[in-house]
Structure formats: C-alpha cells, structure tokens
Chains A and B, each alone.
Chain A
Amino acid sequence: MIVNRLDVSDLLGTLEAKLKQAIVERQLTDPLMIGIRTGGVWVAEKMHQRLAIKQPLGLLDISFYRDDFSQIGVNPNVKPSELPVQIEGRNIILIDDVFYTGRTIRAALNEIFDYGRPKQVLLAVLIERDGKQIPISPDCVGASIALDAGQRIKLIGPEPLAIEIQTVDVAA
C-alpha cells in the first residue's frame, strides 16, 4: 500500500477565502458553525477561529443517523452532539473534512433538522473526491480530487492536519 500525505495549509487558505465570499453572497448573518465529528470538527475549529465566528462552535455526531446501521452497527463510543444555540431560524455553516458519497451530509442534515428548522445551511468541506451517490454537493471546497475506486482519503489530525491518500499497490 502506498500512502501519500498532502499538506493542508493551502486547502485551509482556499476554504477560508471561499467561505468569506459565500458568507457575504448568501447573507449568512451571525452564523452557527457546526463541525461533523471527528475530522470535520478539526477543520471547523480552524475556520471558526480564522473567520472569527461569534457563536460557539457546534459539534455533531451523526452515528445515530447513519443509513448503514444494519450493515456495520453502531459505534459504542458515540459522543453526544453539542449544538450550543437554537437551530430554529439560524444560518448554519456545516463543515466536514472529506466529501465523498454525500451520505454523511444527508445524516447530518437529518439530525440538524431534528433540532429545528434552520434558515440556511451552507456546506463547506476541506476536500471533495469524486464518487457521490446522492444529490448533495458542497457549496465551498478547499480542493477537488479525482481518485480511483481503490484509493482512500482521510484527514489526519488534530495537530498538525494532513490529508492522507492510501493507494492499494496492485504490483505488490
């Protein structure tokens, strides 16, 4: 197996710039930023600080909302979601590390809507790879990447953050 590591500082810079622009364009006043555990929270912590978001950072654990529960079961170390303020009528910036099939975001949106009806939800991810399976797409991305089906991508963290791409070596 070949493992490539990518530095994320450029990606974080790009994501920050795109988020700044989107906040203005979409008029996301006084937004609540929510990171999806675990990698999404690491990215959200950076963005929360860089964009000087006033509301405390929200944390979302989507384990109980996954659609593959009957196949893979539930992780016994689920941490509770922490949404510090009312969701009802609020502008939300939802952050994840990697966007792939879209299923995590589907689960996250379902959970968020169980707390209330937000005014807007904007989705920002550090890196997007091809292979989406449902009609959900990120609004802001740090970078997009095309990978083969056998390749896996994940965020390593929390400090320092790095993107790791695993490639199964067919020659081996």
Chain B
Amino acid sequence: MSDNLQLNSEGKLKHFLTIEGLDKQLLIEILDLAESFVGMTDGRIKKIPLLRGKSIVNLFFENSTRTRTTFELAAKRLSADVLSMSIATSSTSKGESLLDTIRNLEAMYVDMFVVRHGISGAAHFIAQHAASHISVINAGDGQHAHPTQAMLDMFTIRQIKQDFSQLRVAIVGDILHSRVARSNIQALNTLGVAEVRVIAPKTLLPAQVETMGVTVSHSLADGLKDIDVIIMLRLQKERMTAALLPSENEYFKCFGLTEARLKIAKPDAIVMHPGPINRGVEIDSIVADGPQSVILKQVSNGIAIRMAIMAMAMQKQGSM
C-alpha cells in the first residue's frame, strides 16, 4: 500500500489512512492543532465555520458507537454537514458493492469519507478509487490500522506526560488482532518514546513482533516495571472460540490489570483503554474507574483530534 497516497503534491495531509509513512512533524502538527480545538470545545463557542459547506459521510461498515459519534460531533463542530451511514457488509462481492456505494455518494458531491470497515485496506481502497477532490479518513480497517485512535492516545499521553522522549509505554493484550496496537506502536515510535513494550500471551502476538520496534514480555509482573503509560486492549470474545485462549477467567488471572498489578508500574503511571472495556476480563473495574485511569479523557480528546485531522485533510484541497 502506498503511503504517499496520504499526502498531496505539497506534502500536506490529504487522506489519513495509517500512521505509517507520516513523519514526526506532521504528527506534532495534528497534536498542536487539536490542542487549540480543546480550548474551544471547553469554552463558550461550540461551533466554528472552518468546514462550512463541506459534506462529510461517515461510512461505517462495522459498528462503533464511540468512534462514529465523536467523528460526527467533530464534523458538526467544524460546521460541516455530516451524514452517518451504517452499512451491513455482505460476504460476497464486497469490492464491487463498495465501489458502487462510493460512486453514488460522489454523485452527491461529498467532500470526505470517514470509513470503518472490517477488512484491512478498505480505506486505502476507497482513497485510491474515490474522485480526486475527496479526502478519506480511516476510522478503523480490519486488523490493519486505527490511526485516529492512535492520535487521540498520543494527545492524551502528551497532555499528561508532556514529553515523549523519556516514556516507557506498555501495550497489553491482544496485539495480534489489534489495529489500535499497530497504529499506537507506529505513532509512539515516530514520536520517539524511550520504549514500547508489548505484554501478551504468545498466542496473541504476531510473529516477529520485535521488528515493529517493540520489546516483548509475557507477564504483567515483569512487563509493567518502570512503565509510565499502560494501554490496555480489549479482548475480543471471538478469540476464545478460536482456541487462542483457555477462558476469560484464565485470561484475567494472567493478563487482567488489577490494582495490585498497577502498583508494579511507576506510581504516576496512567491507564488507557480504547474502549469498549470488558470489566473483569482485561481490566478490573476499580482500575478502570480509578484515579490513574484516563479512559474518559481519551473519549473527550477524540473529538478535538478528529476535528484537527478533518480540518487538515480538507485544507488547501478546495480550489487547487
């Protein structure tokens, strides 16, 4: 997949499909712009006219309440017209029906697609085939990438820890199937953290995971030492049926984040989770609702970061 697809001829963001291939400066620019939107969404003005007259379509082939809602709110706060479509995928002829959907929406003068799809590469596919004035934002594709989630995680980390360079970040859970993990690992390494550590049972790690720029641990007791940021991943229930894990109880015993285990990390460590959380499976309720948890802050920051990414992807495209 081409990464240059994401940038226009002047090196500005055109599509936002994956963190891969984007440089540190661009990621910082997104974080800085989001920062100015945070001030706004807290304040007395809820809406700014930046994208007035633009039409944005949320194309959700996969369900997601949080991501869809924050994208919708972000678009509305930029004064864009936004339409959310939930489209159930049929197992046959996906490529064809997907393109047909796109062609029809293009005919309605849409300016941006926000795409979530169960198949890796779906957002790339749409970006490659959509009319040239259209920007595409990946809101999660299969097991490939979830770059806006990664950016809101980076934003939340920067808000609390300020500097990335000294941070040790642990990502815990189902790394193998997680697009959030993949995008977060890329973003953390691009921003230059001291260490990204993945903590998971062997069955939930991709082969040669070290080549992604991470260190590996198979136990929370060892893995959480010296950690500043803990990113917990949701354990997808369907993994049990695939015989990758014995049971939810067993998983919680070994890889669930409890109060006692949280103490192994640095005392000021923060706990993150992309949601939705499975209480008592990957994380204990006391930790999820505890003082070190920033899970709801992540949700709030999701609006500002999505505003920033949408604004940047729409700029300089109009008349050029």
Q: How far is the CB of B40 from chain A (nearest CB, A)?
A: 7
Q: Are B29 and A70 in contact, CB atoms less than 8 angstroms apart?
A: no
Interface contact B32-A69, CB-CB below 8 Å: no
B44 near A115 (CB under 8 angstroms)?
yes
User: With A64-B49, A64-B50, A115-B45 known to touch, is A80 a contact of B36 (CB < 8 Å)?
Assistant: yes
Complex Cα–Cα for A111 and B48 (A):
8
Most chain A CB within 10 A, of B30, B49, B318, is at B49
Among residues 247 to 277 in chain B, which have CB atoms less than 8 Å away from a CB atom of chain A? none
Contact of B318 among A70, A77, A115 (CB under 8 A): A70
- The answer to whether A114 touches B319, judged by C-beta atoms less than 8 angstroms apart, is no
Number of chain B residues whose Cβ lies closer than 8 Å to a Cβ of chain A: 24
28 contacts between A and B (CB under 8 A): A61-B36, A64-B48, A64-B49, A65-B48, A65-B49, A69-B315, A70-B314, A70-B315, A70-B316, A70-B317, A70-B318, A71-B318, A71-B320, A73-B12, A73-B312, A73-B315, A74-B33, A74-B50, A76-B32, A76-B33, A77-B36, A80-B39, A80-B43, A83-B44, A110-B49, A114-B45, A114-B47, A115-B44
Are the CB atoms of A69 and B50 closer together than 8 Å? yes
Cβ of A24 < 8 Å from any Cβ of B? no
Q: Is the interface of B mostly helix, strand, loop or mixed?
A: loop
Q: Which residue of A lies closest to B33 (CB)?
A: A76
Q: Is B311 an interface residue (CB 8 A)?
A: yes
A152 within 8 A of B: no
| Given known contacts A114-B45, A115-B44, A71 and B32 CB-to-CB distance under 8 angstroms | no
* Residues on B with beta carbons closer than 8 Å to the beta carbon of A170: none
How distant is the Cα of A64 from the Cα of B44 in the complex, in angstroms?
Answer: 15
| Contact across chains for A76 and B29 when beta carbons are under 8 A apart | yes
Nearest to A80 among chain B residues (CB) is B39
15 more CB-based (< 8 A) A-B contacts, given A71-B316, A73-B312:
A61-B36, A63-B36, A64-B40, A64-B50, A70-B314, A70-B315, A70-B317, A71-B320, A76-B33, A79-B36, A80-B39, A80-B43, A110-B49, A114-B47, A115-B44
Residues of A within 8 A of B43 (CB): 80
Contact A71 B319 (CB under 8 A): yes
Chain B residues with CB below 8 A from A115, complex form: 44-45
Main secondary structure on A side of the interface with B? helix
Q: Which residues of B contact A71 (CB under 8 A)?
A: 316, 318-320
Bound-state Cα–Cα, A111 to B44, Å: 11
Is the CB of A78 closer than 8 A to any CB of chain B?
Answer: yes
Bound together, the chains give a CA A110 to CA B45 distance in angstroms of 12
What's the nearest-Cβ distance from chain A to residue B83, in Å? 21
Is A72 close to B, CB under 8 A? yes
Tell me whether B33 and A78 are in contact (CB under 8 A).
Answer: yes
Q: State the Cβ distance, A108 to closest chain B Cβ, in Å.
A: 13
Residues of the A chain whose Cβ atoms lie less than 8 Å from the Cβ of B40: 64, 80
Most buried by A among B12, B44, B312: B44
- Distance in angstroms between the alpha carbons of A76 and B29 in the assembled complex: 6
CA of A111 to CA of B320, assembled, Å: 27
Chain A residues whose CB sits within 8 angstroms of the CB of B312 once the complex forms = 73-74
Bound-state CA distance A115–B48 (Å) is 11
Residues of B within 8 A of A63 (CB): 36
